[in-house]
A and B are shown apart, each in its own frame.
Chain A
Amino acid sequence: MTENKNYIHSFCTIQNNKIVLNDETVFEAESTSFADFSKQAYKKLEINYPKFFKMDSLSKLAFLGAEILLKAEIDPEAENNIALVFANKSSSLDTDVKYQETISHEENYFPSPAVFVYTLPNICLGEISIRHQLKTENSFFIFEEFNPEFLVNYANVLLDTKKADKVLCGWVEYFNEEYKAFLYLVAKEGVVEHQIETIKTVYKK
């Protein structure tokens, strides 16, 4: 661990058909599928990015969280040195299963290239990077459960070694319609200190 102080700039949670930014609900849908919820959120947030509809569910989840947190952060005229450090439990298993279904039957063997490209979890980081033109450090890790110790330490190292000006950390879990995204932006300036206990508390909300 390093001695320099870093701060939680903002945080966002997406679960149970609801998007919450810094403790305030920004969008909520009636009980529905994730596909419908994400489509409604896309429209509500006035995102104009048709590629969104080609993404798998994990990428849509990560993309929506990043969209909300980075909207005010990105300067289109400048290099935005915002690193991405994400993790989850189920990797890209939801899409892996869908892809496997396209190659399971010899008489109906039609592997889908559009599904195949999402059979890696870190593709969601590529989608975020393309959207926000980020040419920065990015890593995706798989853990049995949410691991704030790892995320806090990794983000602090990136900031303290000046590999990044800000770090977008994220837990984006999706499998079989069960999902939770918890994303937060860490910076050198702010009010709430970037500490493991704080992250644990905000994650549980």
Chain B
Amino acid sequence: MQALIQELKEKIIAVLSLEDINLEDINDNDPLFGDGLGLDSIDALELIVMLDKDYGIKLTDPKEGKVIFQSIETMAAYIAANRLK
């Protein structure tokens, strides 16, 4: 799980162009939206695309995103349980 968490941090920094953020700046339980990393709605859509492209997971219900994208840890747990690739 720790390897997946590390991988996700690297992907999120690259995919969302978080130029001023380092790996060590992201804690596993930090909120991704709001006060945490401060991601916005377009970032949320990019994360949905990333789940599909890199892990073969298609989110059909937008409400699922609220739970899955709470933190890196919740994302990693969901991916580990549902990934197709």
Chain A positions within 8 Å of B, measured between CB atoms, are 39, 50, 53-54, 110-114, 117
Consensus secondary structure, chain A interface? helix
Query: Shortest beta-carbon distance, A4 to chain B, in Å?
Result: 42
Q: Is B53 in the interface zone, CB < 8 Å from A?
A: yes
Cα–Cα distance between A79 and B45 once the two chains are bound (Å): 33
Q: What 5 A-B pairs are tightest by C-beta distance, nearest first?
A: A113-B45, A53-B19, A53-B17, A110-B53, A54-B17
Chain B residues with CB under 8 A of A112: 46, 49
The answer to whether the Cβ of B61 comes within 8 Å of any Cβ in the partner chain is no
Distance (Å) between the CB of A38 and the closest chain B CB?
A: 11
With A53-B19, A54-B16, A114-B46 given, name 18 new contacts (CB 8 A).
Answer: A39-B19, A50-B18, A53-B17, A53-B18, A53-B20, A54-B42, A110-B49, A110-B53, A111-B49, A112-B46, A112-B49, A113-B45, A113-B46, A113-B49, A114-B16, A114-B42, A114-B43, A117-B42
- When the two chains form the complex, which single residue of B20, B42, B45, B52 contacts A50, counting CB atoms closer than 8 Å? B20
